[in-house]
């Protein structure tokens, strides 16, 4: 991939067209189980965003020459090394009281497939700058889904936003359950696919979202190439030299006479006798 890509190009692919949650279906467990409120969704988003950037940048800067079978577990180990101390600090040094689901699923974010996939498919194949762009784009895309789902579930399930009560006529307690989150994600994925099919139709093939095929670049016509082509045409139009036959094998006179005799032609006859 070209290092001349802008952040906008990388952002559109990573955050919108191939959204890690709605399209790649990665990191669903934390979203379904823990994003029941704006507060928990915001914390999950912050952790996922910071960890993606840190691991992808480290992978691009230091792990390109490491064998693949070693890199894959390293992504997960680096993520855990970065997140577990933060989780311990929050629990012991601050007044923030994390719920049980947050204690379970914050470490799970460190070992989800989004990190491994983007480190292996993008970060180790590109510069640190592009790896940062990609990680930021994917983190923004995932965070947007986390926060939107958390707000909707808290609003519809508890009639609150960020712990503050909101007057709505009806609440649906089922939105706080896993199936409520899956319903929201299903509608969101359908809306995103509809948007991509209209805005970026080149990524849709037979109704399925696929990576855009890169078109082969047209050959650049230069003066040197034109002169070389003309010389080739002139060479091909020249008569074949009798001494140098360009790979064409010509038999001796005796072989030619024998071939003509096999056809019933007497090479010794003269014109008068015929």
Tens of pLDDT along 167-217? 888 888 889 898 899 999 999 999 999 999 998 888 776 555 566 654 444
Note whether 171 and 158 are within 8 A (CB): yes
Q: Is residue 146 a contact partner of residue 23, using CB atoms and an 8 Å limit? A: no
Mean pLDDT for the chain?
78
Alpha carbon 70 to chain centroid, angstroms: 21
Q: How far apart are CA 172 and CA 182, in angstroms?
A: 14
Q: What is the pLDDT of residue 56?
A: 93
- Residue 20 phi/psi, 5-degree rounding, is -65, -30
- Ramachandran area for residue 23 (φ above 0: left; ψ -120 to 50: alpha; else beta): alpha
Identify the band that residue 124 occupies on the pLDDT scale cut at 50, 70 and 90: very high
Exposure letters 4-36 (e unless 16+ CB within 10 A, then b): ebeeeebbbbbbbbbbbbbbbebbbebbbbbbb
H helices present in 94-240, as ranges: 100-110, 113-121, 128-158, 178-199, 223-237
pLDDT for 47: 86
- Quote the percentage of the chain above a pLDDT of 70: 72
Which is it for the CA torsion 103, 105, 106, 107, positive or negative? Answer: positive
The helix or strand, by DSSP H or E, that contains position 42, with its residue range, turns out to be helix 38-62
Secondary structure (3-state) at 23? coil
Give the alpha-carbon dihedral of 101, 42, 52, 205, to 10 degrees.
100
Instruction: Report CA 108 to chain centroid distance, whole Å.
Output: 22
Distances in Å between the Cα of 7 and the Cα atoms of 29, 45, 74, 80, 192 are: 29, 20, 27, 28, 21
More confident residue, 72 or 203: 72
pLDDT computed for residue 267 by the predictor: 58
pLDDT at 111: 65
| Predicted TM-score (pTM) above 0.75 | no
């Amino acid at each position: 991939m070209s290092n001349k890509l802008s952040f906008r190009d990388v952002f559109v692919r990573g955050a919108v067209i191939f959204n890690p949650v709605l399209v790649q279906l990665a990191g669903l467990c934390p979203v379904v189980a823990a994003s029941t409120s704006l507060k928990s969704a915001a914390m999950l988003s912050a952790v996922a965003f910071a960890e993606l950037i840190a691991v992808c940048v480290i992978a691009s800067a230091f792990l390109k020459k490491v064998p693949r079978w070693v890199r894959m577990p390293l992504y997960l180990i680096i993520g855990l090394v970065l997140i577990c101390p933060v989780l311990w600090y929050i629990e012991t040094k601050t007044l923030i009281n994390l719920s049980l689901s947050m204690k379970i699923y914050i470490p799970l974010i460190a070992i989800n497939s989004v990190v491994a996939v983007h480190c292996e498919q993008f970060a180790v194949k590109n510069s640190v700058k592009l790896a940062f762009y990609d990680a930021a784009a994917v983190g923004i895309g995932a965070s947007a889904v986390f926060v939107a789902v958390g707000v909707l579930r808290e609003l519809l399930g508890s009639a609150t936003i960020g712990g503050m009560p909101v007057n709505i006529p009806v609440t649906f307690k089922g939105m706080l359950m896993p199936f409520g989150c899956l319903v929201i994600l299903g509608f969101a994925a359908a809306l995103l696919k509809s948007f991509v099919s209209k805005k970026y139709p080149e990524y849709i093939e037979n109704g399925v979202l696929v990576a855009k095929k890169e078109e082969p670049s047209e050959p650049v016509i230069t003066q040197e190439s034109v002169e070389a082509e003309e010389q080739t045409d002139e060479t091909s139009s020249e008569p074949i030299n009798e001494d140098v036959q360009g790979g064409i094998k010509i038999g001796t006179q005796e072989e030619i006479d024998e071939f003509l005799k096999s056809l019933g032609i007497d090479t010794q006859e003269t014109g008068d006798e015929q």
